[in-house]
Structure 1
């Protein structure tokens, strides 16, 4: 042992690090709910009011005009055990997928659309709110860095008011 080491005091034993004391470690305090979006699904239309249709029995293309008959507010729909608020879910989805979704949107009375209906076809129209589907996982992170069981959550978040049109 070198002489210089004899002059040094012995190092005191250290307590194990606490959560948050280790750089890069998870910070679990305070305990909090967590939502992590994992997948973006398709676009789904939530109709407000009745479905409309117009049959063109002529030999030429005809103009069909549809007008919304009700006003309604459409919000986020969630299936599964969501541990966080809907606003937190919305913010996480916006951040992960770079989309503009809202907690709720209003489809208003009197909105009209005109479309061409081909000869001997029927144009159908529904007015409402388009929603994006997202799948994610939600759980509660405890102060000691243990977590409750993960729940799969499927949500439908409003992103656009408009018409759903199809022909038959």
Structure 2
């Protein structure tokens, strides 16, 4: 990858950390459905033999809004830096030093599987998010570092931040209270660059 790539962006600050208290989800559990409790409440007024049936009770997730896919980056390995103390522009080349996997992180109470959440995100916006992506050892990038500037680079995985809601849909079609769920789902591997 070189600085001539169309989507290369050099930022003015390091990548932002999630503002929420997030929990990382192991990739091998993403496709597993969560245990779905059975509705045990009393019949609601107006229930009749002809009432709509939502059997079996199940968890629901609805994505509501998403951030810029380049806004959230989870690094793998150390930050690399190159200080250009000269009075001319210099070329900086960075190489990833480790291989690491980055998965989904969520904040909130997800009432369904993470796999169902990823499918809902793809359906709503047509973006492919993954349970896990691997940033590999040996990837290299070269960029121009302006005079008297430090270029910083971190290799890792960009994650799409999505705010959604999740709840249980019971057998009689009533719902549990809705919970806000904030998720960070892997979307692509790449470098995050910033100058200081």
Larger Rg, first or second structure (1 or 2): 1
Q: Pick from 55, 78, 84: which aligns with 1:29?
A: 55
1:3 corresponds to = none
Shift of 1:59: 1.7
Higher strand share: 1
TM-score (norm: length of structure 1): 0.84
Match of 2:186 in 1: 158
Q: For each residue in 1:55-99, what CA deviation from the matched residue of structure 2 results, as whole angstroms up to 9, or x when unmatched?
A: 111121111010111111100100000011111000000111111
Residue 129 of structure 1 and its aligned partner are, at CA, apart by 0.2
Post-superposition offset of 1:17: 1.8
Pick aligned residue for 1:111 from 139, 147, 170:
139
Where structure 1 has 5 or more consecutive residues not aligned to the other structure, the ranges are 1-14, 21-27
1:58 aligns with 2:86: yes
**How much does 1:16 deviate?**
5.3
The 5-angstrom pairing of residues 13-162 of structure 1 reads 17-20=50-53, 28-42=54-68, 43-162=71-190
- Would you say the 8 A contact 1:33–1:141 is kept in 2? yes
TM-score by length of 2: 0.72
Shift of 1:144: 1.1
Where do 4+ consecutive residues of structure 1 move more than 4 Å?
none
Equivalent pair of 1:54/1:124 in contact (CA under 8 Å): yes
Where structure 2 has 5 or more consecutive residues not aligned to the other structure, the ranges are 1-47
| Conserved? CA contact 1:76–1:104, under 8 Å | yes
